Structures are given as C-alpha cells and as structure tokens.
Amino acid sequence: MKEKIKAYIDQLGPKLEEMSDRIFDLAEVSCQEVQSCKLLEDFLKENGFHVEHNVGGMEHSFRAVYEQGEGGPSFGLLAEYDALPMGHGCGHHMQGPAVIGAALCIRQLAGDRPYKIVIYGTPAEESLGGKIIMQENGCFQDIDIALMMHAAPDTCVDIKTMALENFRVTFHGREAHAAMNPEKGRSALDAILLSFHAIEMLREHVLEDTRMHYTVLDAGGPANVVPGKATAEYTLRSYNTSYLAQVVERFKKIIEGAALMTETTYTMERDPAYSAKIPCLKLNELIMDNARAFEAPHLAPPREKTGSTDFGNVMYELPGSCIRMAFVPSGTPAHSQAYLDAGKSDDAHRAVRLSAGILAGTCLDILEQPELMDEIKADFSERKAQMGESL
Ligand SMILES: [Zn+2]
C-alpha cells in the first residue's frame, strides 16, 4: 500500500507544488485570503468535491466533501492558508496542497469501502483563531478525526497544546496634576501595577505549568499627571482547559481587588478562548508509523510542550493530530526569515508530498483496520475524562 501511495503522490506532486508556490506568492494575510481560498476551492470542485464557501461564520473559509457509500469513517482534513505581514513565514501555504494530495490519494486507493472526506479551509489562524469561530458555529461535527500538517524544523507530532485566555483591561481613575493636587487623583496605572503584583503572588499558588504573562499597553501619560486611564493586557495559559477556567476566576478577583484598592473602575475585553488539545497518543503513533514508512527527514520524538493553537479547540472535542513536517534545519524558529526563504524550496515541495502521503497512509490504515478508529476514540475519551479528574 505504501508503494502505491508513493507512486500516486509522485504523479500528483507537480500540481501540488505549483499550488503551494502560488499560495506562497499570493501571501494573503489573515482575513484577506480571497485568492488562496478560491484557488483551493476551484481545484476541489474540478476534482468532484462538493464545496461550500464561507462556512461557520468565517469569511474565506470552506468545506469540501467527498463521500463514497454510507457508514464508513469520516476523515477531517484541515488547512490554513493565511500569511504573516512578512509573507508565508509560518509555512501555511503548504497545508492546502498537502491535505488535497492526501484526499485524492485516499480516493484513489480506498477501493469500494465506504468513507467520507471533509476538507475544511480554516482562515485567520494567525489573528482571530478562525477555527474557534467556525467550531462555535457548528463546524467539525461531521468528522470522526481531525488531521492537519504544519511545516516545521523536525518531523514529529505534538502531545499537548496550551489552553489560553487573553484579556485587555482598562482601568478608569481620576486625572490630576501630580505635584499640585495629587490627593484629587485616582491612578489607573496604580491599579495596573497592583494587579501585576498580585499575579506574582498568585504564581506561587497555582499548578506548576500555569503561565501568566502581562504587559502595559497604555500607561496613561507623563509622570507629572496622575493617569486617569490606563490599559494592560494579560495572558493566562495551562495545559488543562478546566484548570485554566479556575485560574480565570482568580484573575478576575485580582482585577476587582486592584480597582477596589485604588478607587478606580475597569472595563474588560476577553478574546475567544483557546482550549488545550486532548492528547490522542494512539493517533500520534499511527501518524509516526507512517512518517517512518515514508522515510520522512529529521524524525524527532513527540513534543511534550508547545504553545497555543486554535486547532486545540477542535482537538478538545474530537481526536486529532497534526504532522509537523521538516523543511528547514533543526532549531529554526517559525515566523522567521529562514522559513520565508525556504517557502518554495525543494525541501518545502518534499514536505508537501510527504505529508500528503503520511496523512493518506494514516486514513487508509484506518480504512483497512476499522478497529483502529475504535482504539483512537477510546484513547481520546479516556484521556478527556482523566483531564477533568486530575484537578
Ligand atoms: Zn503556523
């Protein structure tokens, strides 16, 4: 089977690479992925997929479905295509072509077994966390597993991702001249400083892997004026989504307390929350077995710790995993000039082909051995239950 996959991907290769290069050149940033989205949709329509444009309340998103028979597994393949202001410095241009390659390959080699493939085009990963909005609006309920690829320095999978909550808080005090009549002032900046200090105190009394960061966005003006208005940003993270909800409640008390102490008021803006993925080691193993079978470069152990991603929200609800596919030297950071420079290289093209093969291989393994899907689902449910109990 692996030989057949390789041969078919080689046949598709030039077309996939051309799409990847075109999306790289378009370099459309978050929320403006008009042409990149259309290019993928057009190709899928030409190839017999049923394509819906703008799904789940997100512009420049799509859902493309191909179904054979009834009652088989439903494979979800997700693709981002947004660039950074610098260009495609995170390698998202490779994702659409890679999952399309995987989908066509599954279709070619599935025989007459029933199955469904759903490709989701998920825009605005870098800015809004597009998948969170799409999920809130009913997307990803029609798939049994969710698979992605992401360009990387090493070929591996992730075990965890971090849940994240982000807040912007503006304190409102009373402005006054700092020398003439400071007693009339109520400092919005003091409230911010007290909240920062309280977070440092809280740090000792939370689970070890809790992350809390903060910064001042607007300190309120020069030193000789008691600032009447000042704004800070706070980010809270944990590997456990339920635990983070507890930390958020404690954080809110800090903000309330800071306002109370300084006789200020506050307004709070809260961004959409990122969930932590539920690790699905069974699915990870299957993907890495395929990565070895396809002789992927720079094979590395699974990453125990990572940052936050909107794919985490999808993988909180259903089993999912992302193959990180090597195309730059080990140690190269994402969002870097090195990523950008390698975007259309032979190594990038190889990454598109290999990840198409690995994702197709993973799905075809599940089709051939249906018990694998049961094991993946059982592994997911067990770990999700454990997450709640560990608190
Ligand atoms: Zn990325």
Ligand 1 centroid–CA 132 distance in Å is 15
Asked if the model's pLDDT at residue 341 lies above 80, the reply is yes
Distance of CA 349 to the CA centre of its chain: 22
Task: Please state the pTM of the whole predicted model.
Answer: 0.91
Distance 326 CA to ligand 1 centre (A): 13
DSSP 331: T
C-alpha pair distances (Å), 56 with each of 61, 62, 131: 8, 9, 9
Rounded to the nearest whole angstrom, what is the distance from the C-alpha of residue 253 to the centroid of ligand 1?
Answer: 34
Give 228 Cα–ligand 1 centroid separation in angstroms.
39
Domain identity same for 254 and 341: no
Domain that includes residue 195, residue range: 163-270
Closest CA to 232 of 255, 209, 211, 253: 255
pLDDT at 357: 97
**pLDDT attached to residue 389:** 66
- Is residue 72 classed as helix, strand or coil in its secondary structure? coil
pLDDT at 302: 94
pLDDT at 390: 66
Pair 257, 286 in one domain: no
CB 307 within 8 A of CB 161: yes
Per-residue pLDDT for 386 more than 90?
no
Return the pLDDT at 388. Answer: 73
181 and 320, same domain (yes or no): no
Cα-based distances in Å from 2 to 9, 23, 42, 289, 369: 10, 28, 29, 11, 15
**Is the pLDDT reported for residue 119 higher than 90?**
yes
* CA 92 to ligand 1 center in whole angstroms: 6
Total domains, the chain: 2
Pair 8, 99 in one domain: yes
**pLDDT at residue 127 in the model:** 86
Write the CB contacts of 154 (distance below 8 Å, at least 6 apart in sequence): 298, 299, 300, 324, 326, 330
**How far, in Å, are 281, 298, 302 from residue 154 at the CA level?**
18, 5, 10
- Summarize the confidence of residues 300-326 as an average pLDDT: 94
Which are the contacts of 99, defined by CB distance < 8 A and separation ≥ 6?
77, 78, 79, 119, 147, 148, 149, 356, 359
Helix, strand, coil percent values for the chain (each to nearest 5): 45, 25, 35
What DSSP state is assigned to residue 93? G
Q: Distance, CA 127 to ligand 1 centroid (Å)? A: 11
Distance 190 CA to ligand 1 centre (A): 37
- The CATH number of whichever domain residue 54 belongs to comes to 3.40.630.10
- Residue pair 92/82 in contact by the 8 Å Cβ criterion: yes
Host H or E run for residue 117: strand 115-121
End-of-domain residue from the set 253, 270, 287: 270
Per the prediction, the chain carries an average pLDDT of 96
Q: What distance in angstroms lies between residue 59's CA and the mean position of ligand 1's atoms?
A: 19
pLDDT level of residue 196 (50, 70, 90 thresholds): very high
Do 151 and 36 share a domain, yes or no?
Answer: yes
Please, which pLDDT band fits residue 366 given cuts at 50, 70 and 90?
very high
**The predicted structure's pLDDT at residue 277:** 94
Query: How many A from CA of 39 to the centre of ligand 1?
Result: 20
Ligand 1 centroid from CA 169, angstroms: 28
The Å distance, Cα 25 to ligand 1 centre, comes to 17
CA 311 / ligand 1 centre spacing (Å): 10
Cα–Cα dist 70/183, whole Å = 75
**Which residue type is seen at 351?**
A
Question: How far does Cα 32 stand from its chain's mean position?
Answer: 18
DSSP tag of 228: S
Query: Buried b vs exposed e over 113-128: b needs ≥16 C-beta within 10 Å?
Result: eebbbbbbbbbbbbeb
Are residues 18 and 63 both part of a single domain?
Answer: yes
Q: What is the pLDDT of residues 256-298, one digit of tens each?
A: 999 999 999 999 999 999 999 999 999 999 999 999 999 999 9
Q: How far apart are CA 38 and CA 286, in angstroms?
A: 32
Domain at 214, CATH number: 3.30.70.360
Strands 163-172 and 229-238: what pairing? antiparallel
- Regarding whether 19 and 125 lie in a shared domain, the answer is yes
**Among 237, 270, 303, residue at a domain's last position:** 270
Query: Across the strands, what pairs with 267?
Result: 170
Question: And the tokens for 196?
Answer: 């920062």
Residue 341 sits in the same domain as residue 381: yes
Q: What is the pLDDT of residues 159-194, one digit of tens each?
A: 999 999 999 999 999 999 999 999 999 999 999 999
CB atoms within 10 A of CB 353: 24
Band of the pLDDT at 387, cuts 50, 70, 90?
confident
Residues 255 and 282 in one domain: no
pLDDT digits (tens, 9 = 90+) for 129-142: 999 999 999 999 99
pLDDT of 15 strictly over 80: yes
Q: Which two tokens stand for residue 150?
A: 């992401």
Q: Are residues 74 and 127 in the same domain?
A: yes
Name the helix (H) or strand (E) containing 354.
helix 346-368
Residue that terminates a domain, selected from 270, 299, 324: 270
Are 218 and 194 found together in one domain?
Answer: yes
pLDDT of 391 strictly over 70: no
Q: Cα 177 to the chain's mean position, in Å?
A: 47
Residues 126, 108, single domain; the answer is: yes
